[in-house]
Amino acid sequence: MSVDHYTYRVTWSSEDGEHVGLCAEFPSLSWLAATPEAALKGIRQIVSTAVADMESSGEAVPVPLAEKHYSGEFRVRIPPEVHRALAMQAAEQGVSLNRLASAKLAS
């Protein structure tokens, strides 16, 4: 598996006073560095090491988010009064409850 397919992010850490490299598929890993480029390079290296260790020990390696299939469906539980209010909004706007919820989640 190519570690290039994982989801990386570099952000500034005010607490550490450095850039931090992160990987969404490995939330317990991070890498601090003085520059964003070094933070990205560091997190990619540590993820590569982690994947190699997992593969050598027979552990399941996380599938990159970009390679997962998403059905476009998920269930969410809400209080009945919120359900009712959303259904009323959808009816008033002349759209389905699904379309209303999708639009609200996307914004």
- 27-59 pLDDT, tens digit per residue, is 999 999 999 999 999 999 999 999 999 999 999
Quote the pLDDT of residue 1.
Answer: 67
Full DSSP string of 80-103: HHHHHHHHHHHHHHTS-HHHHHHH
Where do runs of H (alpha helix) occur along 1-107? 36-56, 80-93, 97-106
Average pLDDT, the chain: 95
- Domain range list for the chain: 3-66, 70-106
Q: Which pair of tokens denotes residue 31?
A: 């890498």
**73 pLDDT above the threshold of 80:** yes
**94 pLDDT above the threshold of 70:** yes
